[in-house]
Amino acid sequence: MNEVIKKIEKILLSAGIEEYKQEARLIVESVSNLTLDKIIAGAEINNVEKIIEIAKKRASTGMPIQHILGFSYFMGEKYIVNSDVLIPRDETEILVEESYKLLKDKNEKIDILDIGVGSGCISCALAKKLQNKNIEILAVDISLQAIKTALENADKLDLIRKIVFRKSDVYSKIRDCEKFDLIVSNPPYIPLKEKNILQREVSFEPEIALFATDNNGVEFYEKIIKDASKFLKKGGFLAFEIGVNQSGLVKELFVKNGFKKIKIIKDLANIDRVIIAHI
Ligand SMILES: C[S@@+](CC[C@H](N)C(=O)[O-])C[C@H]1O[C@@H](n2cnc3c(N)ncnc32)[C@H](O)[C@@H]1O
């Protein structure tokens, strides 16, 4: 392995960073503007000082590497991230894939509501995957700063024509006449009481994107499910990402509110991660 990459790995490893190999590679590739293949083939690495500076900042502050670099990848696309938005997680790709499967065979116009758009990763990924369809996504968030970042991402990915952004507290600014084939959400779901046991990196992300105030972290699922029938088209779907130990509680909320055909999808760690229901 290349000497610069080895040096960066060592800096990160000594700070206890678990994914030190992947992060070292990410730093070196993105700052030098070279692919790993080229580096291994012996290309000279530019900006070595900058690379070391970034690794040291990561090691000494614990700030997520995505915040230091200013971007993250989601489903193969590069997204701007900053302290106003959640860093897109790999698990959320499951929510996108499952949502896509629900809609891919539809021939009529597709309307989607994304509640808690954050960086825009769900809306943009769905807009991209369904780009040959007549599709319109309404993406809402309570945070104007998050919406600003999502808008920048949609613009960079040339998806701005497919997505409308709006500040809304859950459904507060959704009009009664607006109806959707799919309401999708990865809401804040970490119980506030778990705040002190989270990894150091998470403390750099916005609290409004992370925490629910109830004991089980299901506050937002309850709010979204309760009024969903008002905003879903006949036969519409509701799809959520969920946290550890939440599938049973969210399933109960669905049943209580008249939803059927409830499907739970596990992630690679065998944790129930996505839940979908049908009205
Ligand atoms: C877990 S993040 C998800 C962000 C993005 N969709 C993703 O999957 O990476 C939750 C998002 O919900 C937003 N949010 C929090 N409370 C909200 C509310 N009452 N109404 C609408 N959005 C809210 C936060 O600002 C944050 O962007």
What is the mean predicted confidence (pLDDT) over 114-135?
A: 98
Ligand 1 neighbour 170 (Cβ under 6 A): yes
Tell me the pTM: 0.95
Ligand 1 neighbour 122 (Cβ under 6 A): yes
What is the mean predicted confidence (pLDDT) over 30-54?
A: 93
Residue 32: the pLDDT is: 94
The rounded percent of the chain whose pLDDT value lies above 90 is 95
- Select the more confidently predicted residue: 43 or 130: 130
Rounded-to-integer distance, Cα 142 and Cα 212, Å: 14
Residue 129: the pLDDT is: 98
Atom 17 of ligand 1, residue of closest alpha carbon: 142
CA 85 vs. chain centroid, Å, equals: 9
- Select the more confidently predicted residue: 44 or 246: 246
Ligand 1 neighbour 187 (Cβ under 6 A): yes
Residue 30: the pLDDT is: 94
Rounded-to-integer distance, Cα 265 and Cα 279, Å: 18
Neighbours of 196 (CB within 10 A): 7
Residue 1 has pLDDT above 80, yes or no: no
Superfamily designation of domain 84-278: Vaccinia Virus protein VP39 (3.40.50.150)
Residue 189: the pLDDT is: 98
What is the mean predicted confidence (pLDDT) over 45-50?
A: 93
Ligand 1 neighbour 217 (Cβ under 6 A): no
Residue 260 has pLDDT above 90, yes or no: no
Ligand 1 neighbour 119 (Cβ under 6 A): yes
- Closest by Cα among 58, 12, 4, 11 to 28: 4
pLDDT band with cut points at 50, 70 and 90 for residue 279: confident
- Cα 211 to ligand 1 centroid, rounded to whole Å: 10
Residue 2: the pLDDT is: 87
Helices (H), 45-179: 48-61, 65-69, 92-103, 121-129, 144-156
Residue 90 has pLDDT above 90, yes or no: yes
What is the mean predicted confidence (pLDDT) over 155-174?
A: 98
pLDDT per position as a tens digit, 169-193: 999 999 999 999 999 999 999 999 9
Residue 76 has pLDDT above 80, yes or no: yes
Domain positions in the chain are: 3-62, 84-278
Residues in the chain: 279
- Cα 141 to ligand 1 centroid, rounded to whole Å: 6
Atom 18 of ligand 1, residue of closest alpha carbon: 169
Ligand 1 neighbour 117 (Cβ under 6 A): yes
What is the mean predicted confidence (pLDDT) over 22-45?
A: 93
CA 70 vs. chain centroid, Å, equals: 15
Ligand 1 neighbour 103 (Cβ under 6 A): no
Contact between residue 23 and residue 58 where contact means Cβ atoms under 8 Å apart: yes
